[in-house]
Structure 1
Amino acid sequence: MPTNDDGVLAAAGTSKGASSSGDGARARRVALPAILAATSALALAIPAWVVTHPPAIRVAPRLHVKLPPRRIVPPAELPPVEPVRLIDLSPDDARAFNADVPFSTAANPPARPFHFAGGPDDLARATDCLAAGVLYEAGDDAQGERAVAQVVLNRLRHPAFPKTVCGVVFEGQDRSTGCQFTFSCDGALTRWKPGEEAWKRAREVAAMALSGSVYKPVGYATHYHTDWVVPYWQASLDKIAAVHSHLFFRWSGWWGTPPAFNRRWTGGEPVIAQLAPVSDAHKTGAALAEAKAALAEAAVASPSGGALVPVTGTGDSFLVALPRTMLAEDFPQLAAKACGDRPVCKFSGWADAANVPAALPLGTAQVASMSFSYLRDRAAGIEKSLWNCQQFARPEKSQCMKQQVLMTAVPVSAASPLAPADGHGVAELSGVRRKGDPAPAASPTARPAAKP
């Protein structure tokens, strides 16, 4: 019957399938130990081969960069502001070195807000000086520009730097090397002029900073550099922040703490002739002409131009008329350039050219009218700059010359009680006034002269 036939076929099929399944199970039981043995062998062989055949791993040689020894300047000594001198490294090596310099773990408090206190003209000049600084240093990048602006204002408040915005940004502008912001002395202002939009944004950043805006990440940083260079001054500063490719630093010790930033803007933003192409505030009539004349005078006064020569017969003394609008903070650099490599040198400068002596020695009046003095004696370890603080305000009294008091001699007449009785010897001065003796007439031998 079909039904029985179907049932027989079905049973046969079921029996055949069961037999095949049993054969497969037996085969797997036989193969499993072999697979496990092979896996164990490979687990031992592969590590052994790696150990006996290590891959070639190249380890970059450690950079040997010789920086000056780290020194923390004590509070009683003003830290030096060194010119930008770079270690001779390729950009890649410099980046590797900078990456190994750890960030300071000390607190990084934000700076106090700065509010510009000058009048409209000073504010206009300060704004454009700061705008030029942030744009040429950080490029058209708002965050980087804000960081640079904060550094400029931090410097203004620190005793080691000028006390005007333009003075900070263009410190050392008359020198081809040694300026604090590279763009101010490397010709960048003549090679590239910013576009209108970029200049506008930079001025907005500057205006915000001068109106109290604080860029907190850089704290009280006074120095920065790009990560592809390594300046010598980095050794004695603390690395505190990174903004894009710029690294920011502050002085180690007390000079990097908030109490050290206790100075104020002193007024009188200078006219910067270099900014005339982009700034209306720096290209107005007589002010521009005066600024250009000052820059030309400073250039002529530079020893590199050969105009400054020692006083005849001395070889190591200079009597100089100081450039009219040169910042007082730049006088030591001018003196150092004039002295060159001389181990002993004396540089004397007068703000009024009419007071410059023609020869040595100096008279009392010439000393009293002197505006600046620089003395170097390397054998004795002396290198000192002094200012006439009646003409140039200085942050520390130790930077001031001693005030000269001029004494005008009064001729002694023959009738004077101090005149010799016989015209040759010294008048008798018993020192005793007896009762009944007439009082001597008031006749001082000298009296203070009017101040110059």
Structure 2
Amino acid sequence: MRLRARQWTLPLRREWSGWLFVLLSVAAIAAVLYASAPGGGPGTAARPHPVAPPAEVVPEVLPTELAPVTVDDARAANARIPLVIKGFAAARPFTYPGDAENRGRARDCLAAAMLYEAGDDAKGEQAVGQVVINRVRHPAFPKSICGVVFQGSERATGCQFTFTCDGALGRRYSDAAWGRAQVLAEMMLSGITDPRVGLATHYHTDWVRPYWSDSLEKIAIVDTHLFFRWPGYWGTPGAFRGAVSGHDAPVAKLAAISTLHALALGPPTALADADALAKEVRLVPGAGEATGRDTLYVELDRRAPPESFVTLALRLCGEKPYCKFMGWTNPTLKPASDAMSETQRAAMSFSYLRDDKAGFEKALWNCGEYKRDDARQCMKR
């Protein structure tokens, strides 16, 4: 009996083992199909394998447009992108080829990108700076530092670096943070590199999903930022040998935070002798608790570019820790005394206020007189 029972038991175990294997196999296949199906859950679609652009055709630079997914779904989808180690190469040291004036403007463009994209964090700033330098060497991008940073900034959306078109430049970092970014940018224009990100030309934070991310290879992760390169030839060292112009034109959007850009944009009157300017300016000194908090009433040239008003304000305020600048293009409405009527206030064309103690600096325009792309640069009415 025992033998007969044993003879029946063994086939039953084999039969159940076989069925269990089949069931597990079917479940595994179903799970894979579910995950790869377009309707398999938010953000779960299988990622297409990046296709290398033809080596003889410079790849197109796509605008940064984000897929409409939640933060959690974006992070999950980004985590599924494999990290490509094969072919990883560090960038060669870069030395800026232009003269001192162009170098100064390039430094401030690079510093702005580093600070406004990564915040006051040297580790993140250096990674962003390396991407900018990689781009300026690559034939798919502009051949100047400022050209790379502000590429597409004339559009409300789709700019390459979001801080250039989302109004972030209206927010001012402390002078200390700006100074640290400038020092690091200067070092990167003099040869230091960030080997962590290699030859990356693109990056994004892990809580968003740009449409272009599926066409590129993920090659590095720095904190919450993911770094990418083109597959094939355009992501290899041979593609990063383009000549850099060494000419960085002034950028109006940087005039409020970069004196070098502001001065380069200003009309000849903004660079005139200070004594000549003083004839057009009335100083209203602060008194009592406002001692040292002086105000400048200025007549502005209606024909001058509105960005040049920032230049003039910076010129007249100099190194003062506190300075209030108010300007009118209509000389008849410029106040003749300390008192200012509502009509005169409404006619003000431009104002600038700096208060280093409070960490505040802001320039505002009368947008009824001068149209601004960013509404936060408009005076309240």
TM-score bracket, shorter-length normalisation: 0.5 to 0.7
Partner of 2:200: 221
Pairwise CA distance, 1:108: 1.3
Quote the Cα distance in structure 2 between the aligned partners of 1:142 and 1:206.
10
Q: Which amino acid aligns with 2:208?
A: V
Pairwise CA distance, 1:187: 1.0
Partner of 2:67: 87
Contact 2:139–2:242 (CA under 8 A) maintained in structure 1: yes
1:273 aligns with 2:248: no
Partner of 1:173: 153
1:274/1:289 CA distance change after superposition, 3 Å: farther
Partner of 2:176: 197
Give the unaligned 5+ runs of structure 2: 1-34, 269-303, 309-381
Pairwise CA distance, 1:268: 1.9
Pairwise CA distance, 1:69: 7.1
Pairwise CA distance, 1:72: 1.4
Contact 1:273–1:288 (CA under 8 A) maintained in structure 2: no
Q: Which amino acid aligns with 1:90?
A: T
3-state DSSP of counterpart to 1:217: coil
Structure with larger Rg = 1
TM-score w.r.t. the length of structure 1 is 0.49
Contact 1:152–1:168 (CA under 8 A) maintained in structure 2: yes
Q: Which amino acid aligns with 1:126?
A: A
Q: Which amino acid aligns with 1:194?
A: Y
Quote the Cα distance in structure 1 between the aligned partners of 2:129 and 2:165.
19
Quote the Cα distance in structure 2 between the aligned partners of 1:94 and 1:63.
7
Q: Which amino acid aligns with 2:164?
A: S
TM-score w.r.t. the length of structure 2 is 0.58
Contact 2:197–2:227 (CA under 8 A) maintained in structure 1: yes
Q: Deviations over 1:139-182 (max 9, x none)?
A: 11101000000000000000000000000000111111121001
- Of 147-156 and 169-178, deviating more is 169-178
Superposition map of 1:9-408 within 5 A: 61=41, 63-65=43-45, 70-190=50-170, 192-284=171-263, 287-289=265-267
Give the unaligned 5+ runs of structure 1: 1-58, 297-452
Q: Deviations over 1:69-101 (max 9, x none)?
A: 733101111100000111111011111111111
Quote the Cα distance in structure 2 between the aligned partners of 1:99 and 1:254.
25
Q: Which amino acid aligns with 1:262?
A: R
Pairwise CA distance, 1:109: 1.3
Which structure is higher in RCO with an 8 Å CA cutoff and minimum separation 6? 2
Q: Which amino acid aligns with 2:99?
A: G
1:193/1:65 CA distance change after superposition, 3 Å: farther
Contact 1:68–1:232 (CA under 8 A) maintained in structure 2: no
3-state DSSP of counterpart to 1:216: coil
3-state DSSP of counterpart to 2:196: helix
Pairwise CA distance, 1:289: 4.9
Q: Which amino acid aligns with 1:140?
A: D
1:294/1:82 CA distance change after superposition, 3 Å: farther
Quote the Cα distance in structure 2 between the aligned partners of 1:134 and 1:213.
15
3-state DSSP of counterpart to 1:283: helix
3-state DSSP of counterpart to 2:266: helix
Quote the Cα distance in structure 1 between the aligned partners of 2:159 and 2:66.
13
Contact 1:221–1:250 (CA under 8 A) maintained in structure 2: yes
Quote the Cα distance in structure 2 between the aligned partners of 1:242 and 1:172.
25
Quote the Cα distance in structure 2 between the aligned partners of 1:295 and 1:159.
31
- Of 219-228 and 87-96, deviating more is 87-96
Pairwise CA distance, 1:267: 2.7
Partner of 1:10: none
Quote the Cα distance in structure 1 between the aligned partners of 2:75 and 2:228.
16
Pairwise CA distance, 1:66: 7.7
Quote the Cα distance in structure 2 between the aligned partners of 1:94 and 1:241.
17
3-state DSSP of counterpart to 1:249: strand
Quote the Cα distance in structure 1 between the aligned partners of 2:224 and 2:244.
30
Q: Which amino acid aligns with 1:215?
A: D
1:62/1:188 CA distance change after superposition, 3 Å: closer
Quote the Cα distance in structure 2 between the aligned partners of 1:243 and 1:289.
43
Pairwise CA distance, 1:197: 1.1
The CA RMSD over aligned residues, in Å, is 2.4
Quote the Cα distance in structure 1 between the aligned partners of 2:46 and 2:150.
30
Quote the Cα distance in structure 2 between the aligned partners of 1:168 and 1:226.
19
Q: Which amino acid aligns with 1:184?
A: T
1:294/1:174 CA distance change after superposition, 3 Å: farther
